[in-house]
């Protein structure tokens, strides 16, 4: 293909312009529909507008996917993403390495499960264009408090859960998928060393966010989707993705049941908290082994996840 002979930086610019043009095309339409949804208070009207907004977002993802497949020439290996329901309700958990992960998840799940929404830091609502788009699409904005801050202001304890519950209330009438990067941040060699992580390829999982979603929506969730993303040729940035320097992406999806023992009060019930942490740590240990096997298949086991080849 012609793109094979185009230098990587030029390919990156072409890809970026494609994403930008696609975003600038759909966002004005999105904002108009969101405005009419906002000014007309009838529930049936807002539900109708929400479905249109979801269709717009899914169309935006579909065009982005075409862009990446034409320009980036990536070889995809995806297993376990079949037999999912568009009318279902899922919690999606994944390891997290770069912004590319979001595009990967959108690509493999678009129109296979309900449109995925992420919990977003409240400050990100001010991001130009995208902040307003996230608001229009009912992405839940959260204000997280550090442990030190809560020790100073104990009356704010539990506010995270209240925010999660309020955010999930609006999803009770529509199919939805809630995405959770359980590590809480992107894995890097520095963060991995700082945490003294017991895993070779992962950071320690944070159980609170996933538990809060299960507590707020457990009665509606059909399954938990445990996703493992691997870039066999080493850690790559978002620019590497745009410029076609990520040659292969491997994704494994495992479906897990929403068992009753997973739902409880993470804040107040110490036994439940310990039980949930044990469950999540076991999943993360298995994920770490799976990543090792996936890397070993590409001859990277001895080099490790963070090294280039």
- pLDDT tens-digit profile of 102-134? 999 999 999 999 999 887 777 777 888 888 888
What's the rounded mean pLDDT across residues 135-147?
Answer: 74
What's the rounded mean pLDDT across residues 154-180?
Answer: 72
Q: At 79, is the pLDDT very low, low, confident or very high (cuts 50, 70, 90)?
A: very high
Q: Is the pLDDT of residue 245 over 80?
A: yes
Ordered by where they begin, the domains of the chain are 74-296 (3.40.1130)
| pLDDT, position 302 | 47
Average pLDDT, the chain: 85
SS (H, E, C) the chain: CHHHHCCHHHHHHHHHHHHHHHHHHHHHHHHHHHHHHHHCCCHHHHHHHHHHHHHHHHHHHHHHHHHHHHHCCCEEEEECCCCCCCCCCEEEEECCCCCHHHHHHHHHHECCECCEEECEEHHHHHCCCHHHHHHHCCCCEECCCCHHHHHHCHHHCCHHHHHHHHHHHCCCCCCCEEEEECCCCCCCHHHHHHHCCCCCCCCCCCHHHHHHHHHHHCCCCCEEEEEEEECCCCCCCHHHHHCCCCCEEEEEEEEEECCHHHCCCCCCCHHHHHHHHHHHHHHHHHHHHHHHHHHHCCCCCCCCCCCCC
Of 24-28, 178-182, 233-237, the range with the lowest mean pLDDT is 233-237
**pTM of the predicted protein model:** 0.87
């Amino acid at each position: 293909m012609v793109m094979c002979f185009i230098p990587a930086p030029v390919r990156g610019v072409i890809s970026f312009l494609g994403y930008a043009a696609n975003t600038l095309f759909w966002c004005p339409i999105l904002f108009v529909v969101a405005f009419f949804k906002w000014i007309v208070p009838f529930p049936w009207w807002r539900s109708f507008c929400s479905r249109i907004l979801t269709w717009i977002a899914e169309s935006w993802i579909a065009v982005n996917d075409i862009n990446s497949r034409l320009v980036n020439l990536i070889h995809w290996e995806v297993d376990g993403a079949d037999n999912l329901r568009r009318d279902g309700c899922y919690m999606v958990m994944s390891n997290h390495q770069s912004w590319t992960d979001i595009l990967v998840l959108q690509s493999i799940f678009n129109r296979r499960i309900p449109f995925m929404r992420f919990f977003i830091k409240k400050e990100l609502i001010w991001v130009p264009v995208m902040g307003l788009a996230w608001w229009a699409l009912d992405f839940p904005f959260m204000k997280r408090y550090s442990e030190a801050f809560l020790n100073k202001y104990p009356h704010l304890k539990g506010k995270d859960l209240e925010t999660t519950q309020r955010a999930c209330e609006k999803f009770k009438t529509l199919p939805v998928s809630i995405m959770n990067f359980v590590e809480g941040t992107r894995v890097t060699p520095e963060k991995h060393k700082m945490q003294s992580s017991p895993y070779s390829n992962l950071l320690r999982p944070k159980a609170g966010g996933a538990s809060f979603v299960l507590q707020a929506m457990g009665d509606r969730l059909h399954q938990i989707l445990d996703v493992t993303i691997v870039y066999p040729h080493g850690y790559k940035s978002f620019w590497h993705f745009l410029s076609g320097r990520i040659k292969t992406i491997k994704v494994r999806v495992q479906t897990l049941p929403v068992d009753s023992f997973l739902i409880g009060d993470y804040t107040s019930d110490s036994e439940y908290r310990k039980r949930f942490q044990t469950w999540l740590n076991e999943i993360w240990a298995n994920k770490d082994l799976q990543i090792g096997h996936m890397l070993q298949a590409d001859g990277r086991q001895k080099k490790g996840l963070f090294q280039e080849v």
